Chain A
Amino acid sequence: MPMAACRHVFREADWLRDQRHPTGSLPDLCERSKRMTRFGLDQRINDRSVQRSAAQWMQDIRWAATLRVRDATSDTERVFNLLADKWRQETSHISSITNLVMHRSYQSIIGMGPAVVPLLLRCLQQRPEHWFWALSAITRHNPVRSEDAGNVSKMTKAWLEWGRQRGQIQDEI
């Protein structure tokens, strides 16, 4: 196993251990990558399968690091992203707005209060999703005209305009 690669894995694992973990499994990931590398060093194995496994661990570590940098700019955003992803995963087939908004993750997002309003609006900037109920519950506003109720595109536009007027979001460049 190339020594340079081993040292690189150790460096990355150490760096990651000092960071806040983006996922619960990251400490385990670091430990396992170290174990793998130590195994390669101890045995002085020049075996392709071990090299491949070590390379895979390094890739996983890099991916985890990228996730951390991209997603976890703040605790609120990190928690919001985790909850929103879980909600998307578990409710994509649901038509019932009642069931969509009563999902535990959706309710947890509402429970995070006004801090998530800019995050909800940013989500709407990226793609149409059913964040209207949460926005309405948190802000106690509904900027959507009654004749546009249910028109997801017009509902999105109305909420984004509301957000811009209140400085909650900026125009996308």
Chain B
Amino acid sequence: MTGNEWPPGEFFADLRTARYQISSEKDVSYNCIAWAAGDTTRWWWPDPQQLYYWPVQSPHEVTPQSFVLAFESLGYTRCEDGSSEYGFEKVAIFLDWLGTPTHMARQLPNGQWTSKLGGLEDIEHETLKQLEGVKPAYGKAAYFLKRRIPTEL
């Protein structure tokens, strides 16, 4: 499915005209952070009440540093931007205008991105900018991390 058959354009102005593909069913059992980490069984969030899953290596606080630490525990390291680099996969952390994390996206081998939109579907989108913007969009992709893709022998 492509284009304007689905309501994300309601939340993301840049998706109204851009190309994207829905790549899953709606599912509330995992969110964008879990999806970026490759987990489809849990909803990840560092809520101070600790009702949701968060890696033990990282503090339960909604800060970019906590998100970076969580993904460093998965083998990622900080990098400059979301440009495609051969042999690496990247993730991007979106922040709102207050600097609070709102969303994460994961880069696909073809250089495009995949995002889980809250409790809605996963989508594949060409650029990060398509999900950027003021509320209800996700703010701005501000932190990037990468890790080497394991090569098969």
* Interface residues in chain A, defined as those with a beta carbon under 8 Å from any beta carbon in chain B: 90-99, 128-130, 132-133, 136, 142, 144, 146, 149-153, 155
Q: Are A97 and B45 in contact (CB under 8 A)?
A: yes
Known contacts A150-B42, A150-B43, A150-B45; A95 and B31 CB within 8 A of each other: yes
Q: Which residues of B contact A133 (CB under 8 A)?
A: 47, 49, 51
Closest beta carbon of chain B to A146's beta carbon, Å: 7
A150 to B12, CA, bound (A): 26
14 more contacts with CB within 8 A, not counting A95-B103, A98-B62, A128-B28, are: A93-B120, A93-B136, A95-B116, A95-B117, A96-B103, A97-B43, A97-B47, A130-B28, A130-B119, A133-B49, A136-B51, A149-B42, A149-B51, A153-B29
Q: Which residues of A contact B119 (CB under 8 A)?
A: 92-93, 129-130
Closest beta carbon of chain A to B13's beta carbon, Å: 13
| Size band of the interface chain B makes with A | 20 to 34
Q: Are A95 and B51 in contact (CB under 8 A)?
A: no
Q: Are B41 and A93 in contact (CB under 8 A)?
A: no
Closest beta carbon of chain B to A25's beta carbon, Å: 22
Q: Are A152 and B100 in contact (CB under 8 A)?
A: no
Most-contacted residue by chain A among B8, B32, B49 (CB, 10 A): B49
Q: Are A152 and B43 in contact (CB under 8 A)?
A: yes
Closest beta carbon of chain A to B135's beta carbon, Å: 9
Q: Which residues of A contact B8 (CB under 8 A)?
A: 93
A96 to B103, CA, bound (A): 7
A134 to B42, CA, bound (A): 19
B52 within 8 A of A: yes
1/0 per position for B14-29, CB-CB distance to A under 8 A? 0000000000000011
Q: Which residues of A contact B50 (CB under 8 A)?
A: 146, 149
